Structure formats: structure tokens, C-alpha cells
């Protein structure tokens, strides 16, 4: 096992688990913006369970290809448990590393146990932390603006950091807010030689967290927050049966995830993990197709940043049309079968 | 036994006027405050845990549910709802010192509040994130400050015994069950149940029971923690208004409308 790379001090760190390449590359995009604004370099630390983790090796190569100067793989057997890792234990491990290796910025995707651990580690080391960041804007005068949506996505909050500000900051970025940058992984994959670093693990005081079981949420469709397309339904679909009959085939034809409004979830038509909006999930797909959704503010806040919003609703006054890029004014029970037929014809030709 | 519930009074964003979203600091005056929706799930879970404690052999009558909040004095009124539905007491950390507090400063204040006002507490419940900033970190930071274990994204809780709580939580693509030994903090997402509505007795009790204002000095805090850099003060920036989209009427000729939709989606490189 190697020692921790000394040239990681005072740089911008990306931290990611080996099984989240997408989150790692999104964090790298954000980290490069910070590094360019503050005149620093970007290094990455991948957390893995074993020194010969093939996922870690692949991610190491792709991060180097996408602009990280150095990539260190840090391993500990406790990390093999995935979500079952105690955030307090991982937090203590990261805190001791932060205290000894003095990163200037730490950037990670805000999901899973890593984000929880970083919140604890920031507190333990008196390091500032900003979470739910969706944009970074370099400013001319040696400063960088970090942006966070607020008030249920109704507005934005800007935090302006001077490039010369010496205090360290942990930045948790919202998944899907930053796009991975293209890289050149193949060219580098052969050049990988760095030995993994054994992450020191706290020995005492963190025995409170006991994982019992895990039940996968079974679905053939993509996870809602990771899907490029989402087909979502509201009260206008009239019943659980009609929701399923209309939405499910369309979602499958488009390779989309299924979303639902709060009213539909509260009525028991759909499970809560499909709820989009306040007290549900925030999504940002390429296509958001809203069927029979009136567009209550509580729903809009969860999908307004989707790239193309299509709404089908028979009420031309529905609020959903205020944020839809394409609105189809008509009865969903007529328009959706027509859409299915047209998609089938398209696929056949 | 004492159960502590952290509640953040948040701005009711459905009742904000557009001029209150003008560029500048976050609005505080003339806004409507409400309990953070996720914190309501935490409060309801705490009330249920008090009721079910009898199953572990303890006396539910000995359990206090204490609410701890931090905010402006104008948020005091909305906290009465917590008492009306069954919380025994509510404390509002309220001090000019907290006005500019960032997430870590809020966590330090809450931790000091727990140490001073509920020193025996071994279980804290809170929402997984607030409606306004949605950072989802203050509970975790407070747990760290108090050396409590932490479990996030919880959707139900049950006693295993008086020292262990079984929590069901939403993981990325799975539902996970975790046992946590106290002292611990559990942060809740949406649960299968809503906060109960207050009955007449509860409303009368809330009218008689004041929400106790607690200053920084009351919990032993005097000034910003020395040597700790805080976040830059954030500024509100209204979002650019959305360009109006196209409306395709589909009442007369749905087929034509659908073809027009597909053509536009192709042009947008969606299909």
C-alpha cells in the first residue's frame, strides 16, 4: 500500500465512491470550474473496498482522461457494504484525512453515504460546507459564484467566494446539475500505476449503526432521478388503473421513468418513490412529459429545470402550460393513444 | 425519556409575492411562516414513538417530546402547531447572533440547545432537508457536534428496545432497514402518514403553553466561534422568466397534433 500523495495538499479534491462514475465526473466538472477560478489544480480520490477493485481502476483512468491531475484510490474493507457504511465512521475517516492533507476545496455529488459523511467531516474539522449547489460561475475579478436554488426552486442564492480566500470549503453538488466533460480514457488506461492508499478507519466510538437488510425497489425502468426521459401523470388520469394503462406503455415505448404528482401519490395510485416535486424527487431529464398534471407549484419545483417539458392537458388555463415548452391542449385519453400509434408507426418505418 | 424534534420554520413559498423575491438578502419580513414539511413527518414519528414506547416496558407518560427550533421571533406563532398536535414544549432559539448563521453555526446553536435544554435526550428527530435551502446537512452536522449516530432518508421508525431504534430508509434503488443504538439522530423524508390534526384540547393547550424564546447566552453561546470561517453571505437572484412555449390544440385533430409534437421533439433531438 502506498502513502497518501503529498501533492494533493491545497488543491481541489473530487471525492467519489468507485461505483458512481457519473457522480464523479459531474463533481470533476464542478471542481475544474473552481480550480480555474482560483488558480489551483484538481486531484481526485476514489473510495473503494479492495485494492484490486476493477471499477476503481476504470474510474481512475477516466478521471485522469477528463482532466484530473492526480487520482488516488483509497480503500478500506468496510466500504464494501455500499450504503450500509456508517456515515459517522466514514466521516471520521475523511475528517482525519482532511485535517492532515489540507485540501482547499472538496467536491462531491450529494448522494448516498459519502455526502452524509462529508457533512459530518466538515463539522468535525470546522470546514465550511455548501450543499445543493447547481451552478458555478467564474467571475472576472478573481472570484467564483456558487449557486443554490432556494425557496422551493422559486429563486436562486449566490455565494461569492474570493479566489484568495484561504479557508477550505466542502461543496456538495446536486446530481445531474453538472454535465460530465468528455475525456480520453483509453489513452490513459494503460498508464495506470498508482498504488492504492489504505484509508485509516476509526477504531472506537462508532458502533451504533447496524445494517439489517436491503430490499431493492424492483423496476425494469430507469431510476427516476437518473432517467433521460420521464413520463409523469396527475389527477387528470382519474384512477390508479387508468394511470397504469395510459402511462406505463408510453413510458416503456420511450424508455422513460415514471413520475407522479403528489395528489396521485397521496391517493395511493402510485408509490412515493415516484413522486416528483416538494417532498418528492427533483428531476432534470432531457424530456419531461406531464400528462393530466395541473401544475401545482409543489409539482413544478421538482421538474422545472428539465430540458424540454411537454404537457398534455385538456384545460388550456392549467398552470403546467406556463412552464411547458410544448403544450398539447386535449384529452389525455385521446391524445396519448394517438401518440402511442404515431410512435409505433415511427418505429416501424 | 426525552425525544427532541428539530423544526425549521420556513417561508411558505406558495404565498410569496414576486416583489419579495427581488435581488438581495433572503426575505424575512412580511412572509408567512410554516413548519418545514419534512419536519412534520419527524414530529409525527416522535409522537408515535412516544405512544409505542409502552411496548418496550417503559411508561409512555414519562416521555417528553420537546421541539427545538431556530428562527426570527416572528416564527414563534407557527410553532404553536407543534404543541397543539401533542409536543410537550417548544423552544425557539432566537438571537441577533443567529441572523446571519450559516449551516454549521445553526448546527452549533442546536447542539448547544440540546445540551442545555435537553441534556438527557438520546434521540433527535428532524426532517431530511428544509424547503427553503434544501441542503440536508444541518441535522448531520448537529449529530456530529453531539457525537450522535445519524441515519437519513428515514420513512418509519420502531423501538427494538428502549436503547435501539429500527429505521426503514430510502437508499438509492432500495429500501433499507437499519438498527441504530442511541444516542442517535434520525432524519426523515416523506412517511406513509401525515402529521395528525390538532383537536380542541390540543389547541387550547397550545394557547396556554408559550413557545419559549431562548437567546444565545441562554445556551452558553456568546459570539461567533473563534477561528472558524463562515460562508459568504448569500444573495437572492430571481430566476430568469421562462420563455413561453408553443400550444398545440388537439381537440379537433389529435393525430395532426401528435405528429406536430413528434416533429418538434425530433427537432429538439429528443427523439
Q: What is the DSSP string of A252-304?
A: HHHT-EEEE-HHHHHTTSS-GGGBBSTTSB----SEEEEES----HHHHTTTT
Between B29 and B215, the more confident residue is B215
Q: What is the mean pLDDT of residues B218-222?
A: 92
Say which residues have a Cβ less than 8 Å from residue B157's Cβ, sequence separation at least 6: B45, B48, B49, B125, B165, B166, B167, B168, B186
Query: Are the CB atoms for A63 and A34 separated by under 8 Å?
Result: no
CB A198 within 8 A of CB A1: yes
Long-range contacts of A182-185 (CB under 8 A, 24+ apart): A182/A66, A183/A25, A183/A62, A183/A63, A183/A65, A183/A66, A183/A67, A184/A65, A184/A66, A185/A58, A185/A61, A185/A62, A185/A64, A185/A65, A185/A66
3-state secondary structure of A98: helix
* CA geometry: angle B206, B212, B216, nearest 5 deg: 155
> C-alpha grid cell for residue B156?
418509519
- B173 contacts A216? CB cut-off 8 A: yes
ipTM, 2 dp: 0.95
Cell (9 digits) for A280: 418528492
Q: What grid cell was written down for A318? A: 392549467
Taking 3-state DSSP, the helix, strand and coil percentages for chain B, each rounded to the nearest 5, stand at 35, 25, 40
Position A111 confidence tier, pLDDT thresholds 50, 70, 90: very high
- Residues of B within 8 A of A312 (CB-CB) are 250
- Name the residue of chain A whose CA is nearest to B182's CA: A208
Q: What is the mean pLDDT of chain A?
A: 91
Q: Do the Cβ atoms of A123 and B262 come within 8 Å?
A: no
SS3 B128: coil
Beta-carbon-side half-sphere exposure of residue B191 (alpha carbons within 13 Å): 28
CA–CA separation, A303 and A310 (whole Å): 11
Spatial CA neighbour of B123 closest among B34, B45, B22, B8 = B45
pLDDT digits (tens, 9 = 90+) for A47-92: 998 888 889 989 999 999 999 999 999 999 889 865 589 999 999 9
Q: Report how far apart the first and last C-alpha atoms of chain A are (Å, whole number).
A: 58
Q: Contacts of residue B263 in chain A, CB cutoff 8 Å?
A: none
Is residue A20 classed exposed, middle or buried when 0-12, 13-18 and 19+ CB atoms within 10 A define those classes? buried
Whole-angstrom distance, CA of residue B178 vs CA of residue A83: 10
Q: Which of residues A7 and A291 earns the better pLDDT score?
A: A291
pLDDT bucket at A190, cuts 50 / 70 / 90: very low
Are B181 and A91 inside 8 Å of each other by CB?
A: no
- Residue A183: per-residue pLDDT: 74
**Cα–Cα distance, B186 to B188 (Å, whole number):** 6
pLDDT in tens, A11-55: 999 999 999 999 999 999 999 999 999 999 999 999 998 888 889
Mean pLDDT of chain B: 93
Residue range A191-214: mean pLDDT, rounded = 79
Mean predicted confidence (pLDDT) in A102-124:
97
At B194 the pLDDT is 95
Q: What is the pLDDT of residues A93-110, one digit of tens each?
A: 999 999 999 999 999 999
Residues near B239 by beta carbon (within 8 Å), at least 6 away in sequence: A154, A155, A156
Question: What gap in Å lies between CA B179 and CA B168, rounded to an integer?
Answer: 9
Q: In angstroms, rounded to a whole number, what is the distance separating the alpha carbons of residues B165 and A237? A: 40
CB within 8 Å: A87 and B150: yes
Rounded Cα–Cα distance for residues A286 and B90 (Å): 45
CB contact under 8 A, B13 and A154: yes
Comparing CB atoms, the residue among A157, A169, A304 nearest residue B234 is A157
Mean pLDDT for A210-239 is 91
Closest CA to A237 of A292, A198, A284, A191: A292
pLDDT given at position A124: 97
Beta strands in A181-228 (DSSP E): 197-198, 209-216
pLDDT, tens only, B170-193: 987 789 999 999 999 999 999 999
Please measure the distance between the N-terminal and C-terminal CA atoms of chain B and give it in whole angstroms: 59
Q: What is the DSSP letter of A248?
A: H
B245–A321: do the CB atoms touch at under 8 Å? yes
Beta carbons within 8 Å of B23's beta carbon, 6+ residues apart: B235, B236, B237, B238
How would you classify the pairing of strands B174-181 and B164-170? Answer: antiparallel
- Give the minimum alpha-carbon distance from B208 to chain A in angstroms, rounded to a whole number: 32
pLDDT digits (tens, 9 = 90+) for A225-270: 889 999 999 999 999 999 999 999 999 999 999 999 999 999 999 9
Contacts of A272 (CB under 8 A, 6+ apart): A265, A280, B155, B190, B192
Helices A332-348 and A240-254: angle between axes, nearest 10 degrees: 30
Q: Give contacts of B253 with chain A, Cβ < 8 Å.
A: none
Asked whether residue B267 carries a pLDDT value surpassing 80, the answer given is yes
Q: Is the pLDDT of residue B93 over 70?
A: yes
Question: Could you report the per-residue pLDDT of B109-140, keeping only the tens digit for each?
Answer: 999 999 999 999 999 999 999 999 999 999 99
What are B228-243's pLDDT values in tens digits? 889 999 999 988 888 8
pLDDT for residue A59:
93
Which three cell numbers, joined as nine digits, stand for A29? 466538472
Cβ count near A55 (within 10 Å): 15
Q: Which among A278, A304, A307 has the least Cβ separation from residue B37?
A: A278
pTM confidence score: 0.94
* Residue B205 pLDDT class (50, 70, 90 cuts): very high
Report the SS3 class of residue A305.
Answer: coil
Chain B residues with CB inside 8 Å of A310's CB?
261, 265
Entry field: residues in chain B:
271
Q: What pLDDT is attached to residue B100?
A: 86
Cβ contact, residue pair A152, B132, below 8 Å:
yes
DSSP lists the bridge partners of residue B6 as B68
Band the pLDDT of A193: cuts 50, 70, 90. low
Measured distance CA(A29)–CA(A107) in Å, rounded: 10
Residue with cell 442545555: B116
Find all residues with CB under 8 Å of A244, minimum gap 6, and list them: none
Contacts of B189 in chain A (CB under 8 A): 279
**Grid cell in block for residue A117:** 459523511
Percent share of chain A, pLDDT over 70? 95
CB-CB under 8 Å, A286 with B262: no
Q: Which of B44, B126, B190 is nearest to A273 (CA)?
A: B190
Interface test with A, best of B191, B234, B266 (most A CBs within 10 A): B234
Amino acid at each position: 500500500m502506498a502513502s497518501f500523495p503529498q501533492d494533493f495538499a491545497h488543491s481541489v479534491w473530487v471525492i467519489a465512491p468507485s461505483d458512481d462514475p457519473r457522480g464523479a465526473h459531474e463533481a470533476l466538472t464542478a471542481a475544474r470550474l473552481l480550480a480555474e477560478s482560483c488558480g489551483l489544480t484538481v486531484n481526485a480520490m476514489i473510495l473503494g473496498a479492495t485494492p484490486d477493485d476493477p471499477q476503481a481502476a476504470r474510474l481512475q483512468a477516466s478521471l485522469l482522461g477528463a482532466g484530473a491531475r492526480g487520482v488516488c484510490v483509497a480503500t478500506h474493507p468496510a466500504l464494501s457494504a455500499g450504503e450500509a457504511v456508517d456515515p459517522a465512521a466514514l466521516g471520521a475517516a475523511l475528517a482525519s484525512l482532511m485535517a492532515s492533507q489540507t485540501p482547499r476545496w472538496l467536491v462531491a455529488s450529494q448522494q448516498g453515504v459519502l455526502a452524509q459523511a462529508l457533512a459530518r467531516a466538515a463539522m468535525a474539522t470546522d470546514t465550511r460546507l455548501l450543499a445543493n449547489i447547481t451552478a458555478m460561475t467564474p467571475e472576472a475579478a478573481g472570484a467564483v459564484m456558487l449557486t443554490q436554488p432556494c425557496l422551493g426552486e422559486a429563486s436562486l442564492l449566490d455565494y461569492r467566494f474570493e479566489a484568495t480566500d484561504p479557508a477550505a470549503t466542502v461543496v456538495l453538488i446536486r446530481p445531474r446539475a453538472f454535465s460530465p466533460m468528455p475525456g480520453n480514457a483509453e489513452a490513459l488506461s494503460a498508464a495506470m500505476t498508482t498504488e492504492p492508499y489504505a484509508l485509516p478507519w476509526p477504531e472506537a466510538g462508532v458502533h451504533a449503526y447496524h445494517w439489517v437488510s436491503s430490499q431493492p425497489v424492483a423496476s425494469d425502468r430507469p431510476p427516476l432521478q437518473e432517467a433521460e426521459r420521464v413520463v409523469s401523470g396527475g389527477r387528470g388520469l382519474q384512477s390508479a388503473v387508468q394511470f397504469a394503462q395510459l402511462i406505463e406503455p408510453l413510458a416503456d415505448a420511450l424508455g422513460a421513468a415514471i413520475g407522479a404528482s403528489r395528489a396521485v401519490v397521496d391517493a395511493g395510485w402510485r408509490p412515493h418513490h415516484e413522486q416528483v416535486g416538494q417532498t418528492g424527487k427533483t428531476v432534470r431529464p432531457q424530456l419531461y412529459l406531464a400528462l393530466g398534471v395541473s401544475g401545482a407549484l409543489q409539482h413544478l419545483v421538482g421538474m422545472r429545470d428539465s430540458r424540454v417539458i411537454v404537457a398534455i392537458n385538456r384545460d388550456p388555463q392549467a398552470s403546467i402550460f406556463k412552464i411547458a415548452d410544448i403544450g398539447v391542449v386535449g384529452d389525455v385519453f385521446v391524445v396519448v393513444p394517438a401518440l402511442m400509434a404515431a410512435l409505433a408507426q415511427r418505429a416501424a418505418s | 425519556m426525552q425525544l427532541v424534534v428539530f423544526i425549521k420554520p420556513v417561508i411558505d413559498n406558495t404565498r410569496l409575492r414576486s416583489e419579495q423575491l427581488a435581488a438581495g438578502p433572503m426575505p424575512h419580513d412580511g412572509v408567512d411562516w410554516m413548519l418545514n414539511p419534512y419536519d412534520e413527518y419527524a414530529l409525527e414519528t416522535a409522537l408515535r414513538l412516544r405512544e409505542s414506547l409502552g411496548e418496550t416496558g417503559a411508561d409512555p407518560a414519562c416521555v417528553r417530546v420537546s421541539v427545538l427550533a431556530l428562527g426570527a421571533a416572528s416564527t414563534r406563532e407557527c410553532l404553536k402547531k407543534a404543541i397543539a398536535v401533542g409536543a410537550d414544549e417548544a423552544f425557539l432559539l432566537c438571537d441577533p447572533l443567529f441572523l446571519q448563521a450559516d449551516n454549521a453555526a445553526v448546527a452549533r446553536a442546536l447542539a448547544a440547545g440540546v445540551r442545555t435544554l435537553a441534556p438527557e435526550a438520546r434521540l433527535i428527530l428532524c426532517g431530511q432537508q428544509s424547503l427553503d435551502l434544501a441542503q440536508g446537512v444541518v441535522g448531520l452536522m448537529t449529530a456530529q457536534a453531539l457525537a450522535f449516530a445519524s441515519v437519513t432518508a428515514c420513512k418509519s421508525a420502531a423501538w427494538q428496545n428502549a436503547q435501539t431504534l429500527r429505521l426503514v430508509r430510502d437508499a438509492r434503488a432500495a429500501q433499507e432497514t437499519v438498527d441504530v443504538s442511541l444516542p442517535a439522530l434520525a432524519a426523515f423524508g416523506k412517511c406513509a402518514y401525515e402529521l395528525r390534526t390538532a383537536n380542541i384540547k390540543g389547541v387550547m393547550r397550545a394557547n396556554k403553553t408559550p413557545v419559549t424564546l431562548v437567546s444565545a447566552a441562554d445556551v452558553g453561546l456568546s459570539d461567533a466561534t473563534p477561528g472558524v470561517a463562515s460562508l459568504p453571505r448569500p444573495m437572492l437572484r430571481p430566476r430568469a422568466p421562462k420563455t413561453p412555449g408553443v400550444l398545440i390544440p388537439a381537440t379537433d385533430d389529435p393525430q395532426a397534433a401528435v405528429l406536430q409534437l413528434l416533429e418538434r421533439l425530433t427537432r429538439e433531438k429528443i427523439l
